[in-house]
Amino acid sequence: MLDSGVPCVEQKSGVFIIMDPNETPKPLRLLQLPTDLQNDMVRNMDFLAVFHLSTFRAFRKTPNRRTYWTKICLKLQKESEKDYICVVQKETRDERILLDRNAVAREHRVGNKLFVEHSVTDLAKKIESDIEDPRERVLHHLLQTFQFKIKRLTCNRVIDEQNDSFLWNSIPMFDSVYLSKGLVILDEYITMKSEEIEIFLKMIKSAIYTLAVNVDDKNYKFQRALGCQFLDLRYCAGWFEIDNILARENNLMDIRLCKLSDSQTNCILKQWIDGNRSDLMFMKIYAEHAFSDAEVFKDIDSKAWEPSEKVEDPKLSGQTGKLACIKRKCDGRMATVWSYSKLLFFSIKI
């Protein structure tokens, strides 16, 4: 292939037809066309045609090529043989890269949606690279060629520090990570050993974590800082060290914790009251059983200030809540705390 080469186009009845990506490019080059026409044509190509284009150096030098694909989603299934990357998601079509080295390209339809699945091994052969692992070669190529605004990981299994290294070798930081046994929305939690969750959170970095995890060691506490902005511990937060969590995770803007006791909830509220300035804006805490306001607000001035106007009850869980008003000592910042039978909702007063 010539460095300046790109897949050819052929004009028939006023319509440009993209030729087979495996054919040798013909004299008519896509990049010789007007820029607007180039962009329109590329945006209407299927995944395989655009991927083939991306293997040409001339295409990688064009200024607009990075915006054709903006979202990449990796899915690690319960069985690693079913792992895949999804780059193109439309209402009627999904384009996936199957990450098993022995996977065969195929198409299948579910209802009105067509799923087009590509072989990572076949795609890797099109890329000039010294990277041996075809998964890492393809993923690295995609990330170097296109500017993905969203990089998401959904994981339904324990990761293997050796076999899954292509992930963190290619993507040092995800935008969001979901770890569960099945659907996160259904809180289908995954049971892990302490060393397994340690490895996962050591290797997989993200600004947003949603973790539906149960750790089999009841005495284990995860104590390292994640440095994230959003932390959602579904099902159970008992494996996560709560003491000094707000000081440790000083980048947090939103946190959600499940199955906390009254004393743990009281501890977190005191951390905010007695702590330094932080970015925390929202917090949802779900009770292990039911909250006792007397215990949750023990030794806390829950009327530290009076709202200048009526604060509307968000009525979470369809219930009427009780309002508490607390103030941070270091700067006088104020927050409202709505207490329900099994839920406590904290928000900063803006």
User: Rounded to an integer, what distance in angstroms lies between the CA atom of residue 275 and that of residue 240?
Assistant: 20
Are the C-beta atoms of 166 and 135 separated by less than 8 Å? Answer: yes
pTM, 2 dp: 0.87
- Mean pLDDT, to the nearest integer, of 41-52? 83
The pLDDT value given to residue 131? 96
Read off the pLDDT of residues 286-345 as tens digits, 9 standing for 90 and up. 998 999 999 999 999 999 998 888 889 998 878 899 999 999 999 999 999 999 999 999
First and final C-alpha spacing in the chain = 59
User: Rounded to an integer, what distance in angstroms lies between the CA atom of residue 307 and that of residue 298?
Assistant: 21
The pLDDT value given to residue 44? 79
- Mean pLDDT, to the nearest integer, of 190-207? 97
- Rounded to the nearest angstrom, the gap between the alpha carbon of residue 5 and the centroid of all alpha carbons in its chain is 36
User: Rounded to an integer, what distance in angstroms lies between the CA atom of residue 63 and that of residue 35?
Assistant: 10
| Angle between helix 134-145 and 47-54 (nearest 10) | 80
Are the C-beta atoms of 279 and 255 separated by less than 8 Å? Answer: no
- Mean pLDDT, to the nearest integer, of 3-20? 41
